[in-house]
Amino acid sequence: MKKIVIFASGSGTNAENIIKYFAETKIGTVVALFTNRSDAKVIERAQNYQVPAVVFSKDDLNESKILQKINTFRPDLIVLAGFLLKFPQDIIEAYPDKIINIHPALLPKYGGKGMYGMNIHRTIVENKEKETGITIHFVNENYDEGNILFQKNIILSGNETAEEVAHKIHELEQEHFPQVIERLLEN
């Protein structure tokens, strides 16, 4: 069975969805959750499924301490599910083409530093975009510039609020993220 490690910074709905999805498959299992916030709701969500949580500081991440902890789990795939810090080069080099991220927009539009969550959805509404969607991509040394694995779009009417766009994007994430992970693990 393949091993998945998840990195998340917030409420953890995508992380929980992935944990639940792989609890019911034979191909993979989530062996650990890593978070940079000791108060993140994702910790409780992981613990509800007996997935150990590793809490770390930004300094830990940038000083190679986290790479050592990751290595103890020997993951086949590292999944960023709402993880907001820049991923360090040492981990990227240790796990080439084994780290993926989900982005709540159709990259390359609306990517880069500061483009996450409601910041993206508000900008999409303000710019009166006709469509948006999700992008699942490999992680490299630059924000949101890794090779794209999957995109799914939705058409916007132009009357949506940022909150309504966020809800539609969340539905896409919940449906597609676990399936893309499963396909990666099968290859």
Angle in degrees, CA 166, 167, 173, rounded to 5 = 85
Structure tokens given for 93: 């080099």
* Residues found in the chain: 187
Asked if residue 158 belongs to a known ligand binding site, the reply is no
Asked if residue 62 belongs to a known ligand binding site, the reply is no
Dihedral through CA 168, CA 174, CA 177, CA 183, nearest 10?
-130
Q: Which residues, 6+ apart, have CB-to-CB distance to 184 below 8 Å?
A: 77, 100, 149
Write down the catalytic residue from 103, 121, 167, 170: 103
Q: Which of 81, 98, 89 is nearest to 62 (CA)?
A: 89
Asked if residue 153 belongs to a known ligand binding site, the reply is no
Known catalytic membership, residue 103: yes
Query: 131-138 and 99-103 as β-strands: parallel, antiparallel, unpaired?
Result: antiparallel
Asked if residue 35 belongs to a known ligand binding site, the reply is no
Catalytic residue numbers?
A: 103
Residue numbering of the annotated binding site: 12-14, 101
Residue numbering of the annotated binding site for (6R)-10-formyltetrahydrofolate: 101
